[in-house]
Amino acid sequence: MTAAASIEITTGDGHARAGRLRTRRGVVATPALMPVGTAGTVKGLHPDEVRDLGAEIVLANTYHLHVRPGERVVRALGGLHAFSGWEGLILTDSGGYQVFSLADLRSLDDEGVTFRDHVDGSPRRLTPAVSIGIQQTLGADIMMALDDCTGRPDDRAEAERAMRRTLAWLEPNLEARTDPEAALFGIVQGGVFDDLREESLERTAALPFDGIALGGVSVGESRDEIRRVIARFGPRLPADRPRYLMGIGLPEDLLDAVAAGFDMFDCVVPTRHGRNAQLFTRDGRINIRNARHREDRGPIDADCACPVCRRFSRGFLRHLYVSGEMLGPRLGTVHNLWFYLQLMRDIRQAISERRFDAFRAGFLARRGEDGP
């Protein structure tokens, strides 16, 4: 069977690689950041704004769309693309992250997970077959296998239990797919334990998943452990399939991940921080609410060409946030997404010119951060 998603590498620079992710709906330049649109929307932004900022693919949340409005409603309204007005690619997570994030509202067993609905408390059951069925009904271009994402990655017994359960669910995820054009990615788990990760990777890569993701990273580990796991396992993922690092989103983390050969990323950091007055610049992050910005006529970042920096001052933006005006979080989100998507454009350019290491070192040095 022809893969429903494939990766074409156009340039390699060490482990870093630039290329094209191909799916049934189109092509995405890689390395690529996927803005998070949990409920089918990147919070506060029109889909055209997200596109114009440079995004080609977004991530939507299977569990939350299942709860509200329900996948059958989405299907009746034309599928997730028509429903949300987004014409690019959509990747749906499996609900596995909610095993971690909604730990107080769920119970796990060897067949799946039962949630107490966070809206009305009603029971919701996810198994590999149910998760894949929801994602197919939504009309996702790339689906994720249901996995067990432990919140205790440094507890060996917990990490191994989650990894074993994730492995047991691999084939049921594959067997549940009935749409051969919808790509399906497997997920490697194992916490901070190399032998568990190695076993998970070997068994996941042996199956016909269209891409491979590294999951369970940045869920409680130290910064050093995160960097170590990324550096060790990125180059070990199959080179002929898309490599996806899940849930990583600080700029320095993205650079670490690109250096390790990953192609795809998602994180709520740029949008969540934008809503909370934490704005990214090439010199570091600023809190625009701080009083020192009150009379500042300058832009967020003098080197930024985003629509916000071209038009508005720090002083005005601070006023919006302090006054509770909804335009503030909107503009902060626009700026942060531009910053991140421009970073990805710069990374792709640096790889294509085989100067990624120099670019990475210069970016970190300007922000006063240590390099690799």
What rounded mean pLDDT belongs to the chain?
Answer: 95
What's the mean pLDDT in 345-372? 91
Tokens of 286: 């600023």
Q: How many percent of the chain have pLDDT more than 90?
A: 88
Tell me how crowded residue 154 is: count the other CB atoms within 10 A of its CB. 14
Per-residue model confidence (pLDDT) at position 116: 87
The pLDDT tens digits of the residues spanning 66-110 come to 999 999 999 999 999 999 999 999 999 998 888 678 878 888 899
The pLDDT tens digits of the residues spanning 12-22 come to 999 999 999 99
Confidence of residue 370 (pLDDT cuts 50, 70, 90): low
Query: Going from the N-terminus, what domains does the chain have, and what CATH number goes with each?
Result: 6-267 (3.20.20.105), 274-366 (no CATH)
Indicate the pTM of the whole model. 0.96
Q: Which residues pair with 284 in a beta bridge?
A: 281
Per DSSP, the residues of 183-223 read: EEEEEE--TT-HHHHHHHHHHHHTS--SEEEE-S-SSS--H
With a cut of 60, say whether residue 372 has pLDDT above it. Answer: no
Q: Which residues pair with 188 in a beta bridge?
A: 214
Q: What are phi and psi of 62, to 5 degrees?
A: -60, -50
CA distance 43 to 128: 28
Q: Which residues are catalytic?
A: 93, 266
Tell me how crowded residue 305 is: count the other CB atoms within 10 A of its CB. 10
What's the mean pLDDT in 333-348? 98
The pLDDT tens digits of the residues spanning 153-169 come to 999 999 999 999 999 99
**In this structure, what DSSP letter does residue 294 have?**
T
With a cut of 80, say whether residue 371 has pLDDT above it. Answer: no
